Structure 1
Amino acid sequence: MTDHDWPSSPSDSELEELDQFLRAHGGDEDLLLDGVHGLLTALAIGPAPAKPEEWLPDVLHEPFTDPAEGQRVLQLLAHLNDSIAPELETGAYEPILGEVDDDDEGSTVYTARGWCEGFSRGIDLRASAWESRLGQDTQLMELLGPIIALAIDDGVFEADAEFAELSDEEYDECLAHIPSVVAAVADYWRNHPPSAEEQRAAQDAAASRRPGMQRRRGGRTLH
């Protein structure tokens, strides 16, 4: 596939349209746009691709009442999903982040909480392969370091050991590292694909996962 054959990234207006739909149709624990992007990113760079019917239950939680609207939302989700790999190839990938008000500064700052929540759910969809490899290869854990630090700091992951809270500078530094971490993890799985045993375990887990069921983690996205 040549560069000009790659899907373009969604426009700002398309992202806004999808964001508004997710906000209007989601509950407190459901993924918003940043979370959906994290979910799709984890699947795009992980050990095995996922079909839409595997990840859509983590994004859409009720039937469409308007068929035309439903088709449009599915098109937007497909566009977002299909744009991730080309962005990684061209170095254009950037995470979609949430925003929170900084009461101390009176300004708006970025948060990775929603993105990390979605990323963790993407890992959950291929948990057997991820957990098997993380238990055998410390390189993968090291590559994920900045994302893990953000997830712990934002309360998405619970850590066995006590971690010091990230300073504002450390948090921003971890945010800045997300694109390079995502690219490095994609390269890792490309160069160290899952074994036959890991593939079988992932397939068995995918087959046993019932539509509409999803693993919850503590906390919700802040916007």
Structure 2
Amino acid sequence: MNTPKTDWPSSLDDRELEELDQYLRAHVGDGDLLLDGVHGLLSALAVGPIQVLPEEWLPEVLHEPFADEAEGNRVLALLAKLNDSINAELDVDAYEPILGEVDTDAGPVLSAAGWCEGFSRGIDLRAGLWEKRLADDPQLMELLGPVMALAVDEGILNADAEFEKLSDDEYDECLAQVPTVLGAVNQYWSAHPATEAEIEAAVKTETVSDPQTPPPRQRSGHWVH
């Protein structure tokens, strides 16, 4: 089903995406998420085991006070619309990741690094539940395979075994599978929801994520949706 994104009240148009992108770039610090990373973060929360409220994820996105109330309200409204658009896209099988670009000798190329970094941080917000289920159910690990391959390739995740760098074709293939992966993971948690016992255990054992994060990658300032 192909539903035009302009028909979805919750979707950001190109002007709004650019506005949010420029705000985040103007207020980015070392290791902070840009638009692609914020989209990855919100995507992980959208398909995750249980709801994560804005007061939990906003500190991952906003790191300084707003200049004024009007600016704050505008940025928060754009973030809310971005968050809503992910669920709208998943509902009609039309999800697309927002990606950054990196400059290479051959010119700018799409990069999943920022999106994967955000996705990883989204998982970290419910780390206990994700880690237990990934350890107990190989099906979930298999579903996440393409995204994990991209994250390892970009240095976002460490591989347990020696990992051979993806070829350009393999990278593009994994990237093309991201929408399918998110749809499948979303369906997985709907069909196999976290139990009360899992939630209680996760709350008791929740630990702070490893503070060491990869250095921020140079991006050209473009976004693709």
**Among 28, 32, 46, the residue aligned to 1:30:** 32
Asked whether the 8 Å contact 1:155–1:219 carries over to 2, the reply is no
Give the Cα separation in 1 of the matches to 2:212 and 2:57. Answer: 14
Q: Given that residues 7 and 86 in structure 1 are in contact (C-alpha distance below 8 angstroms), is that contact kept between their aligned partners in structure 2?
A: no
SS in 2 for 1:101: strand
Q: Distance in 2 between matches of 1:205 and 1:73?
A: 34
Residues 215, 195 of structure 1: CA spacing in aligned structure 2 closer, same or farther, 3 A cutoff?
farther
How far, CA to CA, are the matches of 1:135 and 1:36 in structure 2? 26
Give the C-alpha shift of residue 200 in structure 1. 2.3
Structure 2 residue aligned with 1:40: 42
CA contact (8 A) 2:40 2:116 kept: yes
* Cα distance in 1 for residues equivalent to 2:203 and 2:83: 21
Q: 2:135: which partner in 1?
A: 135
Judge conservation of contact 1:121–1:215 (CA < 8 Å) in 2: no
Matching residue's letter, 1:96:
I
Number of equivalent positions? 215
**How many percent of aligned residue pairs carry the same amino acid?**
63
* 1:127-146 Cα shifts (integer Å, max 9, x gaps): 01001100100000000000
| TM-score normalised by L of structure 2 | 0.89
- Report what 2:56 is aligned to: 54
Alignment partner, residue 192 of structure 1: 192
- By percentage of residues, which structure has more helix? 1
Between the aligned partners of 2:80 and 2:217, the Cα distance in structure 1 is 22
Structure-1-length-normalised TM-score: 0.90
Of 202, 205, 220, which residue of structure 1 is paired with 2:216? 220
Distance 1:30 1:93 in 2: 24
Once residues 85 and 205 of structure 2 are traced to their aligned partners in structure 1, the CA distance between those partners, rounded to angstroms, is 26
Equivalent-residue separation in structure 1 for 2:178 and 2:157 (angstroms) = 17
Q: Does the 8 A contact of 2:100 with 2:110 survive in 1?
A: yes
Whether contact under 8 Å (2:10, 2:82) holds in the other structure is no
- Is the contact made by 1:102 and 1:109 (CA closer than 8 Å) also made in structure 2? yes
What displacement does 1:204 show? 5.5
- The residue type equivalent to 2:73 in the other structure is Q
Structure 1 portions without partners, runs of 5+: none
Provide the C-alpha distance between the structure 1 equivalents of 2:202 and 2:71, rounded to a whole number of angstroms: 33
Alignment of 1:83-94 (within 5 A): 83-94=85-96
2:88 partner amino acid: P
SS of the equivalent of 1:110 reads: strand
Residue 112 of structure 1 pairs with residue 112 of structure 2: yes
Aligned residue number for residue 21 of structure 2: 19
* Alignment partner of 1:68 out of 70, 75, 79: 70
Alpha-carbon distance change, 56 to 201 in structure 1, aligned in 2, over 3 angstroms: farther
How far residue 205 of structure 1 moved from its aligned partner, in angstroms, is 7.1
Q: 1:117 to 1:68 in 2, by over 3 A?
A: same
- Cα RMSD, aligned residues only: 2.2
